[in-house]
Structure 1
Amino acid sequence: MKSRVYDTLDRQLVHALQLDGRAPFSRVAQALGVSDQTVARRYSRLRGEGALQVLGLTSPAALGEVQWLIRVQCTPDAASSVAEALARRDDTSWVSLSSGGTEINCMTRAPGSQTGNSLLLQRLPRTPSVVGVTAHCILHTYFGGAMSLVNKSDTLTPEQVRQLRPGPEQLPATGPGEGSAAVLDEADHRMLALLQRDGRTGLAELATASGRSQSSVRRRMAELQACGVLYFDIEFERRIFDLDSAVMLWLSVSPSQLAETGQALAEHPEVAFVCATTGPTNLHAVVICSDIPSLYTYLTTRIAALDAVRQLETAPLLRRVKAAASLPSAPVRTTPAGAGPRGHAG
């Protein structure tokens, strides 16, 4: 079967929606120099193929939540079912299989008051077929969240980027204030649950779900963006940008050079995510390259040039089970907390 071929307009549209996920097609069309109908058709095709999705996500830091990177070692016959059970949880994201298909990597979030006591961290060690669990707290993110690998591409010109960036009223501020966290009510949670599934959900549907008027929904979304709680991200088929090989890096770096090295990694075009963590290694990154030779070149040039790196572990990502979507802590859980298939981490 012939594989799908993506073109320049596909890449430009993905970049445009990374800059502003809810941008009207008319504004995107004007910046790209095509008709509104062309943009609408291209978006519908990419979305229908599962190659592009806009997501409305929340910032754990702005909500006073703590993120954990979890590595789960399983028996070979159980890794897929455990990963799928983890993916069904509201509090997980970026669930993937690596290291020969026996290790699961995922991210979870919990209220700061429950640090170290999340239900997931308590349950995993008691899950059948799980032979080892390590959890690393994310201390600082150097690149990720609203920033994507797409932002590092040269797909759009600087003038097109200027036209497509959201206005000042939509740009995140510094957050709800030092030492404080934003508070969401039940109407917010219902609205955010829809945006998480489709960041371009219409105002009418958001108003019905939240019990607010459309003008109130528009105003509340602007407020949540302004205080850094809500941001829009995209999920896209990596082949659109001729990317194929993804790998996780776990690096040990001298503490005195941790910030400098993390910031240097954030500038690398190949780095999709990088953060400082607790644990035996103190930097974690996700790298995506066009192929295995390109990955080898990256490791032996850009990584090799970082003098502070004392130890490096690589773990190829074999299959992504769940991507960015995870729900902020809600007053009422929206899915059952019961066990998944075969009693796995449900």
Structure 2
Amino acid sequence: MLDAVDAVLVRELQRDGRATFQALADRVGLSRTAVRARVQHLLETEVVRVVGIVHSAVVGAGVSGHVLVAVDGAAREVATAIARRAAVCFTALTAGPHDLVTRVRARDDDALAGEVDEIRRTPGVRVAEVVRCVRIMRDAHSVVRALTDVTLDDIDWRLLRELQRDGRAPYTRLAGIIGLSQAATRARVVRLMRSGVIQVTGQADAAALGATEVGGFGLVVSGPMRRVAEAVTRQEGVRFVATGFGRYDIVGEVEAASRPELVAILDAVRAVPGATVRESWQHLEVVKESYAAELPERPPAARDGVGGAHRDGAGSDR
């Protein structure tokens, strides 16, 4: 369990993974040197990993589905097999109406259907039911904002690859990799972040932050779905919300420091006007949680001539 200062630092890195040591020091009231030492310790012990998450539309994975799986036999073996698929970004063993849940990202609906078919063919899978996510309202681990028009070149692509590996890579090192000045490199990174192409954030060990309980819920809605989803998103402890169609109108995840707190969060969701919790479940074990995209060697425009501008329907010095 982290002390109060480290907990604030982790939360700040989740908000802005490239926040300067001075900005972090101002936030917690310590010296820049002390904050640098604390942040480096958090990174070295992997309490938090600062990574760049590339917008799914940039890498041609703009469609996602939440898959509810029932199995015959050992659920962990099935979950491990499903988690090996590159399109699967999240898999967890659960207690409740499903044996496990998983999230899949794909190029389009046909590709998503193909991925779900592959999950159904996994030995031990009895039923796999998909909720097609139409709009991601909140996701603590991926970019949900709309993209502005932006054209990516080979240099941008190299920056994206490096920031995926290390979101806090110094501008001096990035400049050496791409062969530009530090000022030009910083300008490119800022443009990529402000346009929504990449979000640099801290991925934290939830248990270290005291979030030892994680669960999910599926809602059916009466009234305007968007308004209900926005209200659910505002609830404390909710880390993922998506609208869609299938078994649920809205699917979501919550995290809490204790089971009573988890119950209280779900009760707050139930209290949202127009929302009915059809089912809820508890995550027993997260088997996979990875949002790094498999980037091609070159951006789409340079690779196949389809055009480098993308549209989805602040960086700082070190």
Q: Within the alignment, does 1:308 sit opposite 2:283 as a pair?
A: no
How far did residue 194 of structure 1 move? 3.1
Q: How many Å separate the matches in 2 of 1:124 and 1:236? A: 28
- Would the aligned equivalents of 2:142 and 2:291 in 1 still touch at CA under 8 Å? no
Q: How many Å separate the matches in 2 of 1:277 and 1:88? A: 25
Secondary structure in structure 1 of the residue aligned to 2:123:
coil
Instruction: Sort the Cα spacing of 1:219 and 1:34 in 2 relative to 1 into closer, same or farther, 3 A.
Output: same
Structure 2 residue corresponding to 1:70, chosen from 54, 63, 67: 67
Structure 1 residue corresponding to 2:16, chosen from 15, 20, 23: 20
- The aligned counterpart of 2:206 is 238
How far did residue 311 of structure 1 move? 4.3
How far did residue 49 of structure 1 move? 2.4
- The aligned counterpart of 2:315 is none
Instruction: Sort the Cα spacing of 1:66 and 1:201 in 2 relative to 1 into closer, same or farther, 3 A.
Output: same
- Would the aligned equivalents of 1:56 and 1:192 in 2 still touch at CA under 8 Å? yes
**TM-score for the superposition, normalised by structure 1:** 0.74
Q: Within the alignment, does 1:110 sit opposite 2:106 as a pair?
A: yes
- The aligned counterpart of 1:191 is 159
Structure 2 residue corresponding to 1:275, chosen from 220, 232, 242: 242
Secondary structure in structure 1 of the residue aligned to 2:56:
coil
Number of aligned residues: 295
Q: How many Å separate the matches in 2 of 1:87 and 1:204? A: 36
How far did residue 100 of structure 1 move? 6.8
Instruction: Sort the Cα spacing of 1:124 and 1:174 in 2 relative to 1 into closer, same or farther, 3 A.
Output: closer
- The aligned counterpart of 1:337 is none
Partner deviation per Cα, 1:160-185 (whole Å, 9 max, x = no partner): xxxxxxxxxxxx985225xxxx5655
- Would the aligned equivalents of 1:95 and 1:107 in 2 still touch at CA under 8 Å? yes
Partner deviation per Cα, 1:234-285 (whole Å, 9 max, x = no partner): 211224443221110011112x331221111111112111110110211011
Partner deviation per Cα, 1:180-214 (whole Å, 9 max, x = no partner): xx5655554443233223211233554565x4435
How far did residue 34 of structure 1 move? 1.0
Among the aligned pairs, what percent are the same residue?
25
Q: How many Å separate the matches in 1 of 2:151 and 2:131? A: 26
Instruction: Sort the Cα spacing of 1:48 and 1:61 in 2 relative to 1 into closer, same or farther, 3 A.
Output: same
Instruction: Sort the Cα spacing of 1:86 and 1:201 in 2 relative to 1 into closer, same or farther, 3 A.
Output: farther
- The aligned counterpart of 1:262 is 229
Instruction: Sort the Cα spacing of 1:23 and 1:295 in 2 relative to 1 into closer, same or farther, 3 A.
Output: closer
Q: How many Å separate the matches in 2 of 1:292 and 1:84? A: 26
Partner deviation per Cα, 1:115-150 (whole Å, 9 max, x = no partner): 2324533422222222222222211122225799xx
- The aligned counterpart of 1:154 is none
- Would the aligned equivalents of 2:141 and 2:203 in 1 still touch at CA under 8 Å? no
Matched residue type, 1:238: A
**TM-score for the superposition, normalised by structure 2:** 0.80
- The aligned counterpart of 1:6 is 2
CA RMSD of aligned residues (A): 3.0
- The aligned counterpart of 2:292 is 326
Matched residue type, 2:257: S
Instruction: Sort the Cα spacing of 1:183 and 1:132 in 2 relative to 1 into closer, same or farther, 3 A.
Output: farther
Which structure 2 residues correspond to residues 202-213 of structure 1 after superposition, within 5 A?
Answer: 202-207=170-175, 211-213=178-180
Matched residue type, 1:319: E
Matched residue type, 2:73: P
- The aligned counterpart of 1:124 is 119
Instruction: Sort the Cα spacing of 1:59 and 1:263 in 2 relative to 1 into closer, same or farther, 3 A.
Output: same
- Would the aligned equivalents of 2:14 and 2:203 in 1 still touch at CA under 8 Å? no
How far did residue 80 of structure 1 move? 2.5
Matched residue type, 1:298: I
Q: How many Å separate the matches in 2 of 1:288 and 1:145? A: 11
Instruction: Sort the Cα spacing of 1:129 and 1:316 in 2 relative to 1 into closer, same or farther, 3 A.
Output: same
Matched residue type, 1:37: T
Q: How many Å separate the matches in 1 of 2:145 and 2:197? A: 9
Instruction: Sort the Cα spacing of 1:103 and 1:75 in 2 relative to 1 into closer, same or farther, 3 A.
Output: same
Matched residue type, 1:138: C
- Would the aligned equivalents of 1:244 and 1:290 in 2 still touch at CA under 8 Å? yes
- The aligned counterpart of 2:53 is 57
Matched residue type, 1:293: P
Q: How many Å separate the matches in 2 of 1:131 and 1:40? A: 50
Which structure 2 residues correspond to residues 67-216 of structure 1 after superposition, within 5 A?
Answer: 67-77=64-74, 79-99=75-95, 103-111=99-107, 114-118=108-112, 120-145=115-140, 174-177=146-149, 184=152, 187-207=155-175, 211-215=178-182, 216=184
How far did residue 314 of structure 1 move? 0.8
Matched residue type, 2:37: R
Matched residue type, 2:134: L
Structure 1 residue corresponding to 2:219, chosen from 246, 251, 255: 251
